[in-house]
Amino acid sequence: MLNFRKLTWQDKDIYTGYFQSSPVHYAEYSFVCLWSWQHSYPLEIAQSDSPICWLRSNGPFPGIFGPSGNWDAVTDWDRELSNFNAGDVIYDVPAKVMELLSTRKNLRFTEDRDQHEYVYSVKDLIALKGKAFAHKRNRVRAFLDGYEWDYYPITPADFDEIMSFQEKWRAHRMLTMNQDEAASLSDEDIAIQTAFKNWEEFGLMGGMLKVDGEIIAYTIAEELDAENIDIRYEKAVPEYAGSYQAINYMFLREQGSKYTWVNREEDMGEPGLREAKMSYNPAFMLEKYQMEIL
Q: Which CATH architecture has domain 117-265?
A: 3-Layer(aba) Sandwich (3.40)
The sheet carrying 107-111 orders its strands as 5-6, 43-47, 52-57, 63-69, 89-94, 288-293, 107-111
Candidates 208, 136, 126, 130; CA nearest to 169 is 208
Contact in structure between 219 and 233 (CB atoms under 8 Å): yes
Residue pLDDT, tens place only, 14-40: 999 999 999 999 999 999 999 999 988
Q: How confident is the model over 204-251, as pLDDT tens digits? A: 999 999 999 999 999 999 999 999 999 999 999 999 999 999 999 999
Give the chain's end-to-end CA distance (angstroms, integer). Answer: 17
Domain 5-116 belongs to what architecture?
3-Layer(aba) Sandwich (3.40)
What angle is formed at CA 91 by the lines to CA 88 and CA 92, rounded to 5 degrees? 155
Determine the Cα–Cα distance for residues 116 and 113; give it in Å rounded to an integer: 5
The tens-digit pLDDT sequence of the chain (294 residues) is 789 999 999 999 999 999 999 999 999 999 999 999 998 899 999 998 899 999 999 877 889 998 999 999 999 999 999 999 999 999 999 999 999 999 999 999 999 999 999 999 999 999 999 999 999 999 999 999 999 999 999 999 999 999 999 999 988 877 777 777 777 878 899 999 999 999 999 999 999 999 999 999 999 999 999 999 999 999 999 999 999 999 999 999 999 999 999 999 999 999 999 999 999 999 999 999 999 999
Q: Domain-by-domain residue ranges, the chain?
A: 5-116, 117-265
How far apart (Å, rounded) are the C-alpha atoms in residues 67 and 28? 12
Whole-model pTM: value is 0.95
Q: Do domains 5-116 and 117-265 have the same CATH topology?
A: yes
Pairing mode, strands 214-223 and 89-94: unpaired
